[in-house]
Structure formats: structure tokens, C-alpha cells
Amino acid sequence: MNLSFFDQFMSPSLMGIPLILVAMLYPTLLFTSSNNRWIPNRLSTLLAWLLHLITKQLMLPLNQKSHKWALILTSLMMLLLSINLLGLLPYTFTPTTQLSMNMALAFPLWLATLLTGLRNQPSISLGHLLPEGTPTPLIPALIMIETTSLLIRPLALGVRLTANLTAGHLLIQLISTATIVLLPIMPSISMLTMLILLLLTLLEVAVAMIQAYVFVLLLSLYLQENT
């Protein structure tokens, strides 16, 4: 029974073929047919408004040099948002519950922001490792602490996203299992747990959106430090 709770985090396969490869073809369904209108329907209008809002919020604290990252950050935000929300549907697999995928997203982008700072403003980027006015005896210790905190950033990004989504999915499965088990024994308690399950599902929808935004927002803040 304990292992079955974690089966939802295993990548499903059919005849030995991982279905995640099939799921990766989903974005091709979003390609619209040729049309002489720039925005053909209301769904496209809503999507364009959402993209504009996300881009505006992400680029607001950044300077002009960082605006060339707008396409990357907005695309990452939409990718994480889509995966997190689609993973809440029944009988689906959530790739962002895998630490390997989150680290594959976090580490290259964090490294890109770090290398951008070292190339454009090396003295300022290295200056973050030693706060101004530090007493001389504390300089070696502070450099080691700041370097460690700098190198642990991609790990924190990946673990935060993985832990929040994994915990939410486990809670949903535990409460849904309790609801089914209690239904023939104590129907009133089962209805109460079902209400809790509904509220928890709404909370997980909010968590899925917030975690996608926090992931991209922290990357934009790392970019702000290095540009």
C-alpha cells in the first residue's frame, strides 16, 4: 500500500515506450491553422492577454539589458504552468514532480545568468561574494558562505518545485483513498473528507500556478543581479 502511493510519480509506459514522449507532442496541437486574422478567436485573445500580463510582471523589476530574456522566461513560465495544471487531471503524469527534470531546467538557466554577469560585469558579480564593510577576520568565512549559497541556488529551485508538487499530489491521493474507504463504513465522515478533498484540489491548483511563477521569478531575480 505504501508503494502504491508513489506509483503516480512513475513515468507511464505502453509496450515499453514512455508515454512522456507522446505527451511532448501536445504543444503541436496548439498550432492554429492559417488565417488572415492576427487573433482568430476569443481563446487566442485570452492567451495573448495572459502572455502580456506574465511578461509585464517578469520584466518589471529588470533593466533594459535583461529584456532580451523575455521570450525565454515567458516560455518557461507557460511550460511549467501547463505541466503543473495538466498534472492535476486524473490518470495523468506530472513531469515536474521529478527532480531530474526540474534540475535540468534550473541548472542551465542559473548558470547562464551567472556567466552573463561574469562576462558583462565581473567585478560587480564577484563583489556579491563579499558584502561591503565586512570585518577582516570574517572575510574568508563570508566568502565561503556566500559561495555556497550561490552554488546551492539551482538545487533550491529544483527541490522547491519538486517538494511542493509531490507533497500536494500525495495529500490528494491519501485523502481520496480515505474517502473511498470510509464511504461504506461512515458515509457522513466520507462526505466530510470529500469536501476537504475538493478544497485541497483548489489549493493545489493555486500552488501549481504559484510554484511556476516563483520558479521563473527567482530566475529573473538572479538575472537582475548579473545585468
Query: Which tens digit of pLDDT belongs to each residue from 134-150?
Result: 777 877 888 888 888 88
Q: In this model, does residue 129 exceed pLDDT 70?
A: yes
CB-based contacts of 177: which residues, under 8 Å, 6+ apart?
A: none
Closest by CA position to 147, among listed 119, 100, 114 = 114
Average pLDDT, rounded, for the chain: 82
Question: Cell numbers at residue 217, please?
Answer: 521569478
The pLDDT of residue 106: 92
- Where exactly are the structural domains of the chain? 40-226
Angle separating helix axes 187-225 and 42-59, nearest 10 degrees:
50
Q: How far is CA 145 from CA 137, 199, 221, in A?
A: 14, 41, 20
pLDDT at position 170: 87
Global confidence as pTM:
0.79
- Residue with the larger pLDDT of the pair 121 and 81: 81
The pLDDT tens digits for 38-80 are 666 777 788 888 888 888 888 887 778 788 888 888 889 888 9
pLDDT at 27 (0 to 100): 61
